[in-house]
Amino acid sequence: MMTTAEAGAASRQATEETLLTVRDLHVSFPGKGWRAARTEVLKGVDLDIRHGETVGLVGESGSGKTTIGRAILGLVPVASGTITFDGERIDTASTARRRALSRDLQVIFQDPYTSLNPSLTIGDILAEPLLGQGIDAREARSRVGDLLDRVHLPADAAGRLPREFSGGQRQRVAIARALALRPRLVVCDEPVSALDLTTQRTVLDLLLEIQADTGVSYLFVSHDLSVVRCMSHRVAVIHRGEIVETGDAEQVTTAPRHPYTRTLLLSAPVADVAEQRRRREQRTASAGQLPG
């Protein structure tokens, strides 16, 4: 078993090769009401994710983080721009091609309570994607055993229902399901936000360990900058549908270049009351420098 530090160090070996390229991505949604104008949610987003790399995506609520993930997964229509995965344009992929791509592109959502079908056993939940790709029942059963082992759940978990597990354990099941088809990119949309702090740590360690072993890439969406910093090689900051800053995780989270990122950093909660007050003052002072 690897320690967190080892897993972290190993997962830092991202290659230079790009796996996913997003260029000038625009997404808009119909406005509410009669002849309302469409709302432009993504306004020309550029993003690159390399093999084995984690790109953290931070920004305030409503800035478009989930929409980027959903566009990559083909779950929202793209108005213009391109999304290229491993050299192939996927924003224009057919439904059949999308289904095949779901082997390579997976997602882990925030809420482990609603993302698992409550009436299926864990074994069935994990076997479903395998059977769907034509893997026979015997092989699927053995792969389910490996997956449970992989996320540190006991083998007898296969026969139980989601409600018999804690939030952290369910999120392990969700991770196992996302990994079942050995994907190359996983969109992690606030994967630990619904978990308590100790459980967050173990789930994050698990994601790092899996990356070190398999070389999977992550798009890691979170509003928690400290979580993003410890998980990511690079960080992209989104503000009102535009990426305002991208860079090395350490640099963006400690010495940001863009005034919006500085405001975001100052908004992160800290335990120390005096520090909190100092930040509030700085935030008020720097708010004046913010464009738009």
Ligand X SMILES: Nc1ncnc2c1ncn2[C@@H]1O[C@H](COP(=O)(O)OP(=O)(O)OP(=O)(O)O)[C@@H](O)[C@H]1O
Q: Which residues bind ligand X (CB under 6 A)?
A: 29, 41, 59, 61-67, 223
Nearer to ligand X, 32 or 138 (CB): 32
Nearer to ligand X, 174 or 181 (CB): 174
Which of ligand X, Mg ion, none does residue 169 bind (CB under 5 to 8 Å by kind)? none
Measure the CA dihedral 105/110/113/118, to 10°.
-10
Nearer to Mg ion, 125 or 187 (CB): 187
Largest interatomic CA distance in the chain: 63
Of 46-54, 61-69, 100-108, 138-146, which part binds Mg ion (CB under 5 A)? 61-69
Contact criterion met (CB below 8 Å) for 177 and 126: yes
Nearer to ligand X, 241 or 256 (CB): 241
Which of Mg ion, ligand X, none does residue 67 bind (CB under 5 to 8 Å by kind)? ligand X
Do strands 39-50 and 88-89 pair parallel, antiparallel, or not at all (unpaired)? unpaired
Q: Is 115 in the site for Mg ion (CB under 5 A)?
A: no
Which of Mg ion, ligand X, none does residue 59 bind (CB under 5 to 8 Å by kind)? ligand X
Which of Mg ion, ligand X, none does residue 41 bind (CB under 5 to 8 Å by kind)? ligand X
* Tokens read off for 144: 């389910």
Helices (H), the chain: 4-11, 65-72, 95-101, 122-132, 137-150, 167-179, 197-214, 225-231, 249-254, 259-267, 273-287
Contact criterion met (CB below 8 Å) for 235 and 55: yes
Nearer to Mg ion, 66 or 200 (CB): 66
Closest CA to 99 of 132, 140, 51, 143: 132
How many Cα atoms within 13 Å fall on the side-chain side of residue 272? 4
Of 58-66, 123-131, 178-186, 199-207, which part binds Mg ion (CB under 5 A)? 58-66
* Tokens read off for 164: 């018999």
11, 28, 63, 66: which one binds Mg ion (CB under 5 A): 66
Q: How far is the CB of 64 from Mg ion (least distance, A)?
A: 9
Residue 215 gets the label, from left (phi > 0), alpha (psi -120 to 50) or beta, of left
Nearer to ligand X, 57 or 266 (CB): 57
Q: How far is the CB of 117 from Mg ion (least distance, A)?
A: 22
Residue 76 gets the label, from left (phi > 0), alpha (psi -120 to 50) or beta, of beta
Q: How far is the CB of 105 from ligand X (least distance, A)?
A: 18
| Chain position whose Cβ is nearest to Mg ion | 66
DSSP state of 289: T
Which of Mg ion, ligand X, none does residue 119 bind (CB under 5 to 8 Å by kind)? none
Q: How far is the CB of 286 from ligand X (least distance, A)?
A: 22
Which residues of the shown chain bind Mg ion in the complex (CB under 5 A)? 66
